[in-house]
C-alpha cells in the first residue's frame, strides 16, 4: 500500500511538472509572438507635429547641467563656436544619446535577431548592438565607447535597452560624463494615417555628475520602404590628402583616386 | 538621368526637413534665408562625407577673378538631392545656388545646381 501511495504521489508530481512546463512553453510562445520585429529602415517621424522628438527639442541649453558640466560645456563652446571644428567634421560619430536622437535625417536601419538587435545609423555608420538576455556580458569588461555597451531584454512587446560604459562627452549636443547611463524602451507606436509603421523609443539619461535632472524624451521614426541605407565613407579624403603630399614630396605621380 | 532626378526629388522631399537637424558643425555662418546664384568655372570638386567641397573660379565687378571654396551636403545627401559628381566636371562652367556667408565674405553653402534648362536640382534648406 505505501508503495502504491508513493507511485500516486510520484505520478502527481509528474503531472504538475508537465503542466508547469507546458504552461511555461505556451507562455514563452505567446511572449515571443508578442515581440514586434523592428527590422527595416526608419526615418524621421512626420506625423503629429512636435512628436518626432530628438534634436529639434534639445539644443544642449535645455539640459539641466551641473556647474561642473556647464563649465566643461562652455570651455568647449569657447574654442569651437563659429568654426568648422566638430566631431562630425572630423568623421567622428555622435555617440549616445546623440546617435539615436539625431537619427532619421540620415536613416537608421535595424536588423533584429532573437539574441541581438543591430542598429545602424547611416551618419558615420555608427553601429550599436543590443545584446539580449544571456547574450549580454558584464559591461564593465568592455572598454568605454561613445555609444557605450547595451544590454537588453523584452518586457512583453517592448524592448528595454540599458546602456552604460559611455565616455565623457563634451562635444555632444547632449553632454554627459562617463557615469551616465541611458535607458531606452522601444515599441511599435500608432501607425500614420496611411498605415505607415511608426517606431518609438522612450529615453531616459541619468548622470550623477553632469545632469541635475535626467534627460527624458521620446523619439519617433516612421518606416521607409524600398529604400537604400548607404555606407558613409568619411575618413578616406584625409588619407588621400596624406598620400598626395607624400607622392608630391617624392616627385612621383599618384594614380589612386 | 530623368528617372534618377525624379527619384531623388522624392527622397529629397522626404529628407528636406530632417537633414538640417544633423549638422556636423555649427552652420551659423551661412545665411539660409538669402539664397543667391553664383556662376563659375569648376576648379576642384570633392564629393565626400561629411561635406562637399567645391572650388569655383568666379569673376565679378566687385572683387575680380578668384577661386572661391564652397561647402555642401555630405555626398550621401547630395546624391539624395539628385546632385552627382558628373554634374561638376572640372573646367565646366556651372551655376549654383548658395546660402552666402553672413559676414559677406566669399563662400557659402551649396543649396542647388541650376542646369542650362533653368531647372534647379536640389532643395537644401539647412546644413547637414
Q: Where are the beta strands (DSSP E) in chain B?
A: 36-46, 52-60, 64-72, 93-100, 108-114, 120-121
Contact: B22, A84; criterion CB under 8 Å: no
Query: Where would I find the H helices in A134-181?
Result: none
CA distance B29 to chain A (A): 7
**Minimum distance, in Å, between the CA of residue A245 and any CA atom of chain B:** 17
Q: Give B66-110 pLDDT, tens digit per residue.
A: 999 999 999 999 999 999 999 999 999 999 999 999 999 999 999
**Contact present, A137 and A116 (Cβ < 8 Å):** no
Tell me if A143 sits within 8 A of A165, measured CB to CB.
yes
Contact A55 B28 (CB under 8 A): no
Residue B18, pLDDT score? 42
pLDDT of residue A84: 81
Give how far Cα A207 sits from Cα of A7, A76, A90, A204, Å.
60, 19, 27, 10
Q: How far is CA A160 from CA A92, A132, A228, in A?
A: 27, 9, 27
pLDDT for residue A242: 96
Cβ-defined contacts of B5-13 (< 8 Å, 24+): B5/B82, B5/B121, B8/B79, B8/B80, B8/B81, B8/B82, B9/B82, B11/A227, B11/B80, B12/B80, B12/B81, B12/B82, B12/B122, B12/B123, B13/B123
- Taken as a whole, chain B contains a residue count of 128
The confidence score (pLDDT) of residue A15 equals: 54
Give A230's contacts in chain B (Cβ within 8 Å): 76, 79
Residues of A in contact with B52 (CB under 8 A): none
Best residue of B11, B25, B124 to probe chain A, by most A CBs closer than 10 Å: B25
CA distance A203 to chain B (A): 19
pLDDT of residue A226: 80
Give me the residue from B14, B50, B76 closest to A43, CB to CB.
Answer: B14
B24 and A86 within 8 Å at the Cβ level: the answer is: yes
B12 pLDDT higher than 50: no
B76 interaction partners in chain A (CB closer than 8 Å): 106, 122, 230, 232
Residue A112 DSSP symbol: E
**Chain segment B28-67, per-residue pLDDT in tens:** 889 999 999 999 999 999 999 999 999 999 999 999 999 9
Under the banding of pLDDT at 50, 70 and 90, the label for residue B7 is very low
Helix or strand run (H / E) with residue A77:
helix A67-80
Per-residue pLDDT of chain A (257 residues; tens, 9 = 90+): 555 566 556 555 555 555 555 555 445 555 677 899 999 999 999 888 777 776 644 444 578 999 999 999 999 999 998 888 999 999 999 999 999 999 988 999 999 999 999 999 999 999 999 999 999 999 999 999 999 999 999 999 999 999 999 999 999 999 999 999 999 999 999 999 999 999 999 999 999 999 999 999 999 999 998 888 999 999 999 999 999 999 999 999 999 98
Asked if B19's CB is within 8 angstroms of A106's CB, the reply is: yes
By a Cβ cutoff of 8 Å, what residues of chain B touch chain A?
11, 14-15, 17-26, 28-29, 46, 48-51, 74, 76-77, 79, 128
Which of A37, A54, A41 is CA-nearest to residue B11? A41
Best residue in A85, A91, A120, A123 for a mutation probing chain B (most B CBs within 10 Å): A123
* CB contacts, 8 Å: B15 with chain A: 43, 105
pLDDT tier, B22 (very low <50, low <70, confident <90, very high otherwise): low
**Chain A with chain B: Cβ pairs closer than 8 A:** 72
Amino acid at each position: 500500500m505505501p508503495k502504491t501511495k508513493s507511485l500516486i504521489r510520484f505520478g502527481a508530481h509528474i503531472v504538475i511538472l508537465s503542466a508547469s512546463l507546458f504552461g511555461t512553453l505556451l507562455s514563452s510562445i505567446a511572449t515571443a509572438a508578442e515581440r514586434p520585429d523592428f527590422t527595416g529602415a526608419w526615418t524621421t517621424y512626420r506625423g503629429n507635429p512636435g512628436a518626432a522628438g530628438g534634436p529639434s527639442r534639445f539644443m544642449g541649453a535645455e539640459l539641466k547641467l551641473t556647474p561642473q558640466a556647464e563649465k566643461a560645456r562652455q570651455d568647449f563652446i569657447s574654442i569651437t563656436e563659429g568654426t568648422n571644428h566638430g566631431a562630425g567634421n572630423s568623421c567622428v560619430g555622435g555617440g549616445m544619446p546623440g546617435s539615436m536622437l539625431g537619427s532619421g535625417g540620415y536613416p537608421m536601419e535595424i536588423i533584429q535577431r532573437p539574441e541581438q538587435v543591430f542598429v545602424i545609423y547611416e551618419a558615420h555608420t555608427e553601429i550599436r548592438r543590443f545584446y539580449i538576455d544571456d547574450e549580454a556580458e558584464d559591461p564593465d569588461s568592455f572598454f568605454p565607447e561613445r555609444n557605450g555597451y547595451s544590454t537588453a531584454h523584452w518586457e512583453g512587446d517592448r524592448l528595454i535597452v540599458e546602456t552604460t560604459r559611455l565616455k565623457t562627452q563634451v562635444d555632444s549636443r547632449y553632454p554627459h560624463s562617463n557615469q551616465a547611463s541611458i535607458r531606452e524602451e522601444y515599441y511599435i507606436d500608432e501607425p500614420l494615417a496611411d498605415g505607415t509603421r511608426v517606431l518609438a523609443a522612450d529615453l531616459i539619461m541619468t548622470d550623477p555628475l553632469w545632469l541635475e535632472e535626467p534627460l527624458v524624451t521620446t523619439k519617433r521614426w516612421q518606416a521607409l520602404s524600398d529604400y537604400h541605407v548607404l555606407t558613409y565613407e568619411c575618413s578616406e579624403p584625409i588619407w588621400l590628402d596624406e598620400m598626395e603630399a607624400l607622392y608630391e614630396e617624392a616627385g612621383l605621380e599618384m594614380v589612386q583616386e | 538621368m530623368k528617372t534618377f532626378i525624379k527619384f531623388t526629388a522624392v527622397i529629397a522631399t522626404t529628407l528636406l526637413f530632417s537633414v538640417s537637424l544633423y549638422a556636423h558643425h555649427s552652420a551659423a555662418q551661412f545665411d539660409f534665408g538669402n539664397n543667391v546664384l553664383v556662376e563659375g568655372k569648376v576648379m576642384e570638386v570633392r564629393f565626400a562625407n561629411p561635406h562637399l567641397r567645391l572650388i569655383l573660379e568666379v569673376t565679378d565687378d566687385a572683387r575680380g577673378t578668384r577661386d572661391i571654396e564652397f561647402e555642401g551636403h555630405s555626398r550621401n545627401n547630395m546624391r539624395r538631392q539628385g546632385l552627382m559628381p558628373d554634374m561638376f566636371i572640372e573646367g565646366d562652367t556651372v551655376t549654383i545656388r548658395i546660402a552666402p556667408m553672413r559676414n559677406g565674405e566669399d563662400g557659402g553653402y551649396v543649396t542647388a545646381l541650376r542646369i542650362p534648362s533653368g531647372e534647379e536640382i536640389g532643395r537644401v534648406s539647412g546644413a547637414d
